[in-house]
């Protein structure tokens, strides 16, 4: 499925090059207040609600767009959750993360340039931009191929995100932050079957009741906040535990983690206020679970209690 979707992305880029009109790139950055495509839902960011950012377009609109589509880049951090299943993590993980991030960025930018060159930005179909772009130039057959590729792409994204979540669930259970019954692997395959089944059931239930757009925003803000915590943890541990043996070393200390914190927080501020409210509620639920169960049952908590 990955091969299929990458092949179709390359097909879109190559085939779309023949239908680009340079006039469609003007203005390259639409000014604030520009009327969007028909059917588009204008989602105000928290910064816009506070009166800091002017609107959905312009320079601030670029960062709002980056925050809203951040979920498209989440896959690369799943590589890190599979560290224990990697033969040579010190070598393979950096290559996997950086290479996948670089390849995806190049492909995303290329597709964006092609589709906005084929169709003016304020005439792009919101429901199916790529397929509709090729229909508009008289190639409905291409549109059907692209739709099939989109289906394969969404499927692989869901599978890889669920794989990552099940491994995080497994690691937390092994540390007794969650019930230890889930920290078991299948004897034959070595896979954490219990966490995989629970993750699948929870994801199916949430997907049934919560709209996809709301889920995407919640995933964005949750992942960005996780990046903030990781960056802060790197700074703290370098000072409080310099004796720890580290398999990986963050380059450019302390500039890299500080920039990571500021960039992630700024993108979070470009998400809607309602997403922030849901994030606070979800975080509160997590803190209740941690305070009522994880803090007392965790390995660290038990060692502190024993000492």
**Of the ranges 43-47, 80-84, 176-180, which is most confident?**
176-180
- Residue 212 pLDDT: 79
71 pLDDT tier (thresholds 50, 70, 90): confident
Q: Domain map of the chain by residue range?
A: 2-222+263-306
Q: Over range 78-85, report the average pLDDT.
A: 82
How far apart (Å, rounded) are the C-alpha atoms in residues 120 and 36? 11
**Of the ranges 121-130, 203-212, 275-284, which is most confident?**
275-284
65 pLDDT tier (thresholds 50, 70, 90): confident
- Residue 39 pLDDT: 67
Structure tokens, 105:
């960025």
Q: Are 36 and 122 in contact (CB under 8 A)?
A: yes
Position 149 pLDDT exceeds 70: yes
Q: Over range 220-240, report the average pLDDT.
A: 92
- Residue 175 pLDDT: 93
187 — phi, psi (to 5°)? -65, -35
Compare 67 and 109 and report the one with higher pLDDT.
109
Neighbours of 124 (CB within 10 A): 21
Give how far Cα 12 sits from Cα of 45, 149, 197, Å. Answer: 31, 10, 36
Kind and range of the H or E element at 54? none
């Amino acid at each position: 499925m990955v091969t299929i979707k990458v092949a179709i992305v390359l097909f879109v880029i190559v085939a779309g090059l023949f239908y680009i009109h340079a006039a469609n790139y003007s203005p390259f950055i639409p000014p604030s207040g520009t009327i969007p495509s028909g059917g588009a839902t204008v989602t105000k960011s928290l910064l816009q609600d506070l009166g800091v950012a002017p609107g959905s377009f312009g320079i601030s609109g670029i960062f709002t767009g980056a925050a809203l589509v951040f979920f498209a880049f989440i896959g690369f951090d799943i590589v890190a959750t599979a560290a224990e299943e990697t033969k040579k993590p010190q070598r393979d993980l950096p290559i996997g993360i950086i290479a996948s991030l670089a390849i995806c960025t190049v492909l995303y930018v290329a597709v964006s340039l092609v589709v906005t060159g084929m169709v003016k930005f304020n005439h792009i179909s919101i429901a199916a931009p790529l397929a509709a772009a090729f229909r508009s130039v008289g190639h409905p057959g291409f549109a059907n191929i692209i739709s099939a590729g989109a289906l394969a792409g969404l499927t692989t994204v869901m599978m890889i995100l669920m794989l990552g979540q099940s491994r995080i669930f497994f690691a937390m259970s092994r540390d007794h932050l969650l019930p230890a019954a889930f920290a078991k692997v299948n004897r034959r395959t070595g896979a954490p079957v219990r966490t995989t089944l629970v993750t699948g059931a929870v994801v199916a239930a949430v997907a049934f009741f919560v709209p996809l757009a709301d889920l995407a925003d919640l995933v964005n803000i949750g992942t960005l906040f996780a990046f903030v915590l990781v960056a802060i943890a790197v700074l703290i541990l370098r000072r409080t535990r310099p004796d720890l043996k580290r398999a990986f070393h963050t380059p450019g200390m302390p500039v890299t983690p500080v920039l990571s914190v500021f960039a992630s927080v700024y993108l979070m501020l470009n998400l809607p206020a309602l997403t922030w409210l849901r994030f606070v509620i979800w975080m509160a639920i997590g803190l209740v679970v941690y305070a009522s169960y994880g803090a007392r049952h965790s390995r660290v908590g038990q060692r502190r209690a024993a000492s």
